[in-house]
A and B are shown apart, each in its own frame.
Chain A
Amino acid sequence: MAKRIEASNVTAYYGGFKAIENINLTVEPKTVTALIGPSGCGKSTFLRSINRMHEVLPGARVEGSLTIDDQDIYDRDVDVTAVRRMIGMVFQRPNPFPTMSIYENAVAGLRLNGVRKKSILDEAAEKALRAANLWDEVKDRLGKPGAGLSGGQQQRLCIARTIAVEPQVVLMDEPCSALDPISTLAIEDLMFQLKDKFTIIIVTHNMQQAARVSDRTAFFSIEKTGDPGRLIEYDNTQKIFSNPTQKKTEDYITGRFG
């Protein structure tokens, strides 16, 4: 059920500001792809344009084409909510719905899709929470508020909420940047398991993390502040971190820049 994503000449704007320019990149199904690069280079913008979350901000727009299994998600006739259901997203800061219990958070996506039957919801909640390695920690307090969990647990709850609707692709926008090392490790382990079912794209500032979890790595960069971000190099993770072809990539991963 995981799908292949192809971006060609993707350019994204915030009002008059061009944030990324002409990104061309193909993501194979059931892989983990890491997007790395200095702050402001447009990795998050690119990530958010994959599930059309970029356009949520006022004045933001995307040009170029993005296809998922050859279907253009920016096609005029495509229902944007269907795109987002197919391409789930985990955010930088854990953001469980504060007024909902753990259980309600886990099934929030299903509820939105009109699933009402208790037995289906119960089953889906347990499945998603197990898949997110959270079930054992919360099974006795599913009725408690989701916001009462620790940061790492909240983030895993958000992952559970995302995968409960069984998307094809899971986007993660620096999912561990607000977490401690142990929680980070738990989420990285989780990514290895999720890769069997989903295509995962992760934005990270942590190069060790990119090296640990990803199969492919894309390095983004900007010339100077105010310039649009560009894709500098995209290759197997091993290649990027051992023998990059671009000088800029090498400078970045060796810490000489950014």
Chain B
Amino acid sequence: MGETPHRSADAGTGGTRVTESHEWPAGASARVAEAPVSTRTPGGTGLGGGGALPRARAFGAERAFRGLTLAAGTAVLVIIAAIAVFLVAKAVPALRADTANFWTYEGWSPNEAQPKFGIGTLAFGTVLSAALGLLIAVPVALGIALYLSHYAPRRVGTTLGFLIDLLAAVPSVVFGLWGREIFINPVRDFSVWLNKYFSWIPLFGGEGPFGKSILLGALVLAIMVLPIVTSLSREVFLQTPTANEEAALALGATRWEMIRTAVLPYGRPGIIAAVMLGLGRALGETIALAMTLGITFGISFNLIQNGGNTIAANIANAFGEANETGRGALIASGLVLFAITLIVNITARVIIYRRREFTESAA
């Protein structure tokens, strides 16, 4: 059926061979013949080719592109190796010079004649603030994501989603400033209240002063990771196959039951990935925490007293006045941060991998 008009349309958009090798009704071919034919030499062998087969090209675009991609891939490896070599080379002399135990010493004085510094308190503060920040952010983020994907009217959902993405565009230094100048006030009041009624819980004990605490840092972190976790999990929730949602509804599920039966299990690997990305940001966050934490060196689970410090915040605060050993010490702390992030990521992969059988067949 209708083969003639179909093919001549093809020729008009694409190639020249049809008009050259066949005769077509005047109306169709006249239009086709004008523009495209001139791009190729008329009377040539055409794409179908008569005569001997041409030789494979030794240096074509194909090879060039292959080379480019290979180079790009290799470059990543080279850069990573170079960074690792640099970090280790700088860190080792400083670690040698450390007169205290690098893992357990509570303090950071690498610029003295007798350098003393320990990573323990910083690593502890990093993990504590990031974990607390996520603990606050993730439930809220999942709630927002579910609202946007399954409850909100479409227009509201799109607008709100856009606003949340906008939150991710705010520079972290702005969050830091806002945290230490404005947000600190309600947090301080809240901390005083917590301390008054719940000081029997060690987390909320202490004599004060309150405010520039792990709690403030974690809350600011929570706001910062919220958009990432929200928009990623929203994407995942939106991808739930309609067939599965309908299956749950047809079994008599309420909307929340449908979400629990179909949406959340389907989105699980995606949620984990979103949380891990959020954790990555929280662990590496530098300037906002340098501005909102109390910057002390000590291991304490007290969340509301002034204090707390993280590896990244310490690097930002101490780098300016560091000498050779000081810089080495900071680089060593950076290596530890890198190791922590790596462990977190590997754990996430393992969790996702364990459910592989189910998630793969879902695809």
Contact = CB atoms under 8 A, between A and B. Distances in A.
A51 interface: yes
Contacts of B362: 98-99, 147
B60 interface: no
Nearest to B253: A112
A148 B252 contact: no
Contacts of B241: 95, 98
Contacts of B246: 53, 56, 91, 95
A130 to B, nearest CB: 19
Contact of A112 (B257, B266, B355, B358): B257
A30 interface: no
Interface string A45-88: 00000010100101000000000000000000000011111001
B104 interface: no
Interface string B222-247: 00000000000000000001011011
B341 interface: no
A3 B216 CA distance: 62
Q: Which bucket holds chain B's interface residue count?
A: 20 to 34
B62 interface: no
A113 B257 CA distance: 10
Contact of A97 (B154, B249, B254, B261): B261
Given A98-B358, A99-B268, A145-B358, A91 B247 contact: yes
A32 interface: no
Q: Please report whether the interface of chain B is mostly helix, strand, loop or mixed according to DSSP.
A: helix
Contacts of B249: 53, 56, 84
Given A97-B265, A113-B252, A158 B361 contact: no
A84 B252 CA distance: 5
Interface string B248-271: 111111100100011001101000
B359 interface: yes
B248 A89 contact: no
Interface string A16-52: 0000000000000000000000000000000000010
Contacts of A53: 246, 249-250
Name the residue among B241, B250, B253, B262 with the largest chain A CB count within 10 angstroms.
B250
Contact of B250 (A51, A97, A144): A51
A109 B252 contact: yes
B321 interface: no
A240 to B, nearest CB: 28
Contacts of B243: 91, 93, 95
Contacts of A99: 265-266, 268, 355, 358-359, 362
Nearest to B251: A109
B261 A108 contact: yes
B357 interface: yes
A81 B254 contact: yes
Interface in A132-181: 144-145, 147-148, 158, 161-162, 165
Contacts of A81: 252-254
A3 B210 CA distance: 68
Contacts of B254: 81
A66 to B, nearest CB: 16
A168 to B, nearest CB: 12
Question: Which of B244, B248, B252 has the most CB atoms of chain A within a 10 A radius of its CB?
Answer: B252
Interface in A198-243: none
Nearest to B247: A95
A45 B261 CA distance: 25
A165 B252 contact: yes
Given A81-B253, A98-B362, A58 B261 contact: no
B247 A97 contact: yes
B252 A82 contact: yes
Contact of A98 (B154, B244, B248): B244
A206 to B, nearest CB: 21
A100 interface: yes
Given A98-B361, A145-B358, A112 B247 contact: no
Contacts of A56: 246, 249
Interface in B58-108: none
Contacts of B257: 112
B244 A108 contact: no
Q: Which 4 A-B pairs have the closest CB atoms?
A: A98-B362, A85-B252, A95-B243, A99-B265
Interface of B: 154, 241, 243-244, 246-254, 257, 261-262, 265-266, 268, 355, 357-359, 361-362
27 contacts: A56-B246, A81-B254, A84-B251, A85-B252, A88-B250, A88-B251, A91-B243, A91-B246, A95-B241, A95-B244, A97-B262, A97-B265, A97-B266, A98-B358, A98-B359, A98-B361, A98-B362, A99-B359, A100-B358, A111-B261, A112-B252, A112-B261, A144-B357, A147-B361, A148-B357, A158-B247, A161-B251
Interface of A: 51, 53, 56, 58, 81-85, 88-89, 91, 93, 95-100, 108-109, 111-113, 144-145, 147-148, 158, 161-162, 165
